[in-house]
C-alpha cells in the first residue's frame, strides 16, 4: 500500500508533511511520488491567500474520477484549509475521506484505520495537547538531506488584520527546548548540515511558557556538533531585541541573514494592519541591525493593495524599499480572507490596481537584487553544496573528467552554481564569484 503527499504553502507545511509521512510510514504504507499508484493521497493545504486555497480544491477535485475506478483510495485534506473549513470541506469535495486540521495530526493514524475498516468520512479540527511532541521524530528524510526545517513554535497571537494564521494555526505555542535540541541532534547524526527554525513569530519563542528565550535557544543549537548553519523564520519587527541581534552576531553558525517582514511602509496602513510598529521604528531596527551585524543580508514580506491603501501609502512602501535596499523581497497582492477582520474594511482596492502596484514594486526591487548580487563578483564565498545544478551555465566547459555543475547557497542565502568534479553534497566549498544573475551567482571553486 502506498501514499503520496502534495504540499502547498509555507515551510511549516513542508515540515508538517514530513510528520504526516512519518505517521503513514508507521501505519505500514510506503511513499510514492506517483499519485496514480497511491492508495492514500494527502493534500497539505494553505489558506493564506485565495489562490493557495483554490489550488487545494482543484488538486483534490481531480480524485473524484479516480476514486470511482479505485474505491479503496483514501483522500485526505490536511493543514490550514482543513482547519478553516472542517466539515464544510465535504460540501465542495464530496469524495473526501478525512479532513485533518493543523492540530489533529496526533489522531491521523487512528482516522486512517477507521476509514480502512469502513467508517464513513471524518473531519477532525480539534486541538491536541502539543503538536509534534508526541509524534515520532523526522525519520523519513526525502529530498534534500543537507538542509532541514524544524518547527520550534506554532500559532500566532498578533492578529494582523489581514491574516488567517491566528485562526488556522491557533494561539502561540512553543516546543520544549530539549525536544528541539534532541530533534536537531538526530538530524545532525543523519548528515544534515543546516537547520531552519520555523515559527510564525520565532523571536517570541518561549515567552508564554516562561522558558528560555529565542536567543538562548540559538546559543544551545549553535553548540550541536555536525550542524554548520542555522537559519530562522519568521521574525516580527516588534519583538526584534538587541539580544537577538547579538546572538546573530556572536553565534558563528547562525547565518548573517534576517527575514523581517515589514508588510507596508505607510504608518496609516501599518496601523490598520495592527502591526504594532511605525515605519520609523522599522527603519531604526534596520539601522541597529546593520550596526550590530555588518553586511547582514535582509529580506522582507510586503502586501500591496491593503484596503484603503492610496497611491501615497504605496509610495511610502516604495520609499522604504529604496531606503533599506533588501537583498530580496516576497511581495503579495492583498487577498481578502473572510475569517480575517480586514475582509470587512471599507475601500477595498481593485484587482487591477493591486497588480499594477505589485509590478511596480517588483520592478523596483529587481534593481536592488541585481545590485546586491553584482556586488558579490570577485568575492570568495562559502557555499554549502546542496546538489547537482539543473540549469547548465552557457559558458560551462568541463575542464576535468567527471566535472559537473553543482549548486548550493551562501550564508546570505544566495544560490550559487559552480563546476566541480571534487565536491560532495553537504561540503562547504569556497567559490570565487565570477558572474551575477537576478536569481543566482556563478563561480569557480577555490581548493587549498
**Site residues for ligand 5AD per CB under 6 A:** 48-49, 162-163, 261, 263, 301, 303, 332, 334-335, 337
Question: Which among ligand SF4, ligand 5AD, none contacts residue 417 (Cβ within 5 to 8 A by kind)?
Answer: none
Sign of CA dihedral 260, 264, 265, 271: negative
| Least distance in angstroms from the C-beta of 408 to ligand SF4 | 29
The piece of 2-10, 156-164, 213-221, 280-288 that touches ligand SF4 (CB under 6 A) is 156-164
Question: Which among ligand SF4, ligand 5AD, none contacts residue 150 (Cβ within 5 to 8 A by kind)?
Answer: none
| Least distance in angstroms from the C-beta of 156 to ligand SF4 | 3
Binding letters toward ligand SF4, positions 113-152, x by CB under 6 A: ----------------------------------------
Report how far residue 446's alpha carbon sits from residue 204's, in angstroms, rounded to the nearest whole number. 40
Question: Which among ligand 5AD, ligand SF4, none contacts residue 48 (Cβ within 5 to 8 A by kind)?
Answer: ligand 5AD
Site membership for ligand SF4, residue 160 (CB under 6 A): yes
Q: Which C-beta is closer to ligand SF4: that of 171 or that of 246?
A: 171
Give whole-number Cα distances, 440 to 69, 257, 329, 389, 428, in Å: 45, 17, 15, 11, 17
Site membership for ligand SF4, residue 83 (CB under 6 A): no
Residue identified by cell 559552480 is 418
Closest by alpha carbon to 408, among 396, 399, 419? Answer: 419
Question: Which among ligand 5AD, ligand SF4, none contacts residue 332 (Cβ within 5 to 8 A by kind)?
Answer: ligand 5AD
The piece of 94-102, 163-171, 316-324, 382-390 that touches ligand SF4 (CB under 6 A) is 163-171
| Least distance in angstroms from the C-beta of 338 to ligand SF4 | 15
Report how far residue 12's alpha carbon sits from residue 82's, in angstroms, rounded to the nearest whole number. 15
Cell of 375: 556586488
What does the angle CA 270 – CA 271 – CA 275 come to, to the nearest 5 degrees? 60
Report how far residue 284's alpha carbon sits from residue 296's, in angstroms, rounded to the nearest whole number. 15
Q: Contact with ligand SF4 (CB under 6 A): which of 22, 84, 200, 264? A: 200
Question: Which among ligand SF4, ligand 5AD, none contacts residue 236 (Cβ within 5 to 8 A by kind)?
Answer: ligand SF4
What is residue 349's DSSP assignment?
A: P
Question: Which among ligand SF4, ligand 5AD, none contacts residue 158 (Cβ within 5 to 8 A by kind)?
Answer: ligand SF4
| Least distance in angstroms from the C-beta of 261 to ligand SF4 | 7
Residue in the shown chain whose Cβ atom is closest to ligand 5AD: 301
Cβ burial, residue 267 (10 Å; 0-12/13-18/19+): middle
Question: Which among ligand 5AD, ligand SF4, none contacts residue 166 (Cβ within 5 to 8 A by kind)?
Answer: ligand SF4
Site membership for ligand SF4, residue 335 (CB under 6 A): no
Beta-sheet strands, E only, within 48-156 = 74-79, 98-100, 122-124, 147-151, 153-154
CB 312 within 8 A of CB 131: no
- Beta-carbon contacts of residue 378 (< 8 Å; ≥ 6 apart): 432, 433
Report how far residue 393's alpha carbon sits from residue 406's, in angstroms, rounded to the nearest whole number. 11
Site membership for ligand SF4, residue 321 (CB under 6 A): no
Site membership for ligand SF4, residue 304 (CB under 6 A): no
Does residue 332 come out as left (phi exceeding 0), alpha (psi in the -120 to 50 range) or beta?
beta
Q: Which C-beta is closer to ligand SF4: that of 75 or that of 102?
A: 102
Question: Which among ligand SF4, ligand 5AD, none contacts residue 334 (Cβ within 5 to 8 A by kind)?
Answer: ligand 5AD
For 351, how many CA atoms within 13 A lie in the half-sphere containing its CB?
A: 3
Report how far residue 364's alpha carbon sits from residue 172's, in angstroms, rounded to the nearest whole number. 35
Cell of 165: 494564521
| Least distance in angstroms from the C-beta of 355 to ligand 5AD | 13
> How many C-beta atoms lie closer than 10 Å to residue 374's C-beta?
14
Site membership for ligand SF4, residue 204 (CB under 6 A): no
Cell of 46: 494553505
| Least distance in angstroms from the C-beta of 159 to ligand SF4 | 6
CB 246 within 8 A of CB 215: yes
Site membership for ligand SF4, residue 166 (CB under 6 A): yes
| Least distance in angstroms from the C-beta of 81 to ligand 5AD | 14
Question: Which among ligand 5AD, ligand SF4, none contacts residue 200 (Cβ within 5 to 8 A by kind)?
Answer: ligand SF4
Closest by alpha carbon to 220, among 243, 175, 251? Answer: 251
Applying CB under 6 A, the residues found at the interface with ligand SF4 are 156, 158-160, 163, 165-166, 200-201, 236
Amino acid at each position: 500500500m502506498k501514499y503520496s503527499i502534495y504540499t502547498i504553502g509555507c515551510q511549516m507545511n513542508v515540515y508538517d508533511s514530513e510528520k504526516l509521512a512519518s505517521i503513514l510510514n508507521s501505519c505500514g504504507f510506503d511513499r510514492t511520488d506517483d499519485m496514480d499508484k497511491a492508495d492514500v493521497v494527502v493534500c497539505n493545504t494553505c489558506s493564506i491567500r485565495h489562490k493557495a486555497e483554490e489550488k487545494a480544491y482543484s488538486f483534490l477535485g481531480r480524485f473524484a474520477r479516480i476514486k470511482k475506478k479505485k474505491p479503496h483510495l483514501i483522500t485526505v485534506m490536511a493543514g490550514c484549509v482543513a482547519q478553516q473549513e472542517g466539515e464544510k470541506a465535504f460540501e465542495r469535495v464530496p469524495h473526501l475521506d478525512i479532513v485533518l486540521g493543523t492540530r489533529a495530526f496526533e489522531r491521523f493514524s487512528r482516522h486512517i484505520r477507521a476509514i480502512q475498516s469502513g467508517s464513513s468520512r471524518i473531519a477532525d479540527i480539534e486541538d491536541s495537547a502539543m503538536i509534534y511532541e508526541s509524534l515520532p521524530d523526522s525519520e523519513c528524510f526525502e529530498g534534500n538531506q543537507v538542509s532541514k526545517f524544524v518547527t520550534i513554535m506554532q500559532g500566532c497571537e498578533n492578529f494582523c488584520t489581514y491574516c488567517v494564521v491566528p485562526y488556522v494555526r491557533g494561539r502561540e505555542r512553543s516546543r520544549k527546548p530539549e525536544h528541539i535540541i534532541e530533534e536537531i541532534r538526530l538530524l545532525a547524526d543523519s548528515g544534515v548540515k543546516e537547520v531552519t527554525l520555523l515559527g510564525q513569530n520565532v523571536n517570541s519563542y518561549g515567552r508564554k511558557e516562561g522558558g528560555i528565550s529565542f536567543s538562548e535557544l540559538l546559543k544551545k543549537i549553535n553548540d550541536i556538533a555536525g550542524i554548520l548553519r542555522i537559519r530562522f523564520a519568521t521574525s516580527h519587527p516588534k519583538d526584534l531585541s538587541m539580544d537577538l541581534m547579538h546572538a546573530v552576531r556572536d553565534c558563528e553558525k547562525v547565518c548573517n541573514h534576517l527575514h523581517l517582514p515589514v508588510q507596508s511602509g505607510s504608518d496609516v496602513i501599518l496601523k490598520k494592519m495592527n502591526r504594532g510598529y511605525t515605519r520609523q521604528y522599522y527603519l531604526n531596527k534596520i539601522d541597529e541591525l546593520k550596526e550590530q551585524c555588518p553586511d547582514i543580508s535582509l529580506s522582507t514580506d510586503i502586501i500591496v493593495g491593503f484596503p484603503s491603501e492610496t497611491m501615497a501609502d504605496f509610495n511610502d512602501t516604495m520609499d522604504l524599499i529604496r531606503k533599506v535596499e533588501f537583498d530580496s523581497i516576497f511581495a503579495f497582492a492583498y487577498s481578502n480572507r473572510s475569517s480575517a477582520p480586514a475582509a470587512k474594511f471599507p475601500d477595498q482596492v481593485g484587482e487591477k490596481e493591486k497588480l499594477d502596484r505589485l509590478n511596480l514594486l517588483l520592478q523596483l526591487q529587481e534593481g536592488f537584487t541585481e545590485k546586491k548580487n553584482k556586488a558579490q563578483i570577485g568575492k570568495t564565498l562559502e557555499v554549502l553544496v546542496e546538489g547537482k545544478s539543473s540549469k547548465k551555465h552557457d559558458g560551462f566547459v568541463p575542464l576535468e573528467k567527471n566535472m559537473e555543475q553543482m549548486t548550493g547557497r551562501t550564508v546570505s542565502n544566495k544560490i550559487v552554481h559552480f563546476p566541480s568534479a571534487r565536491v560532495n553534497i553537504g561540503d562547504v566549498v569556497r567559490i570565487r564569484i565570477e558572474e551575477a544573475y537576478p536569481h543566482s551567482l556563478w563561480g569557480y571553486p577555490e581548493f587549498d
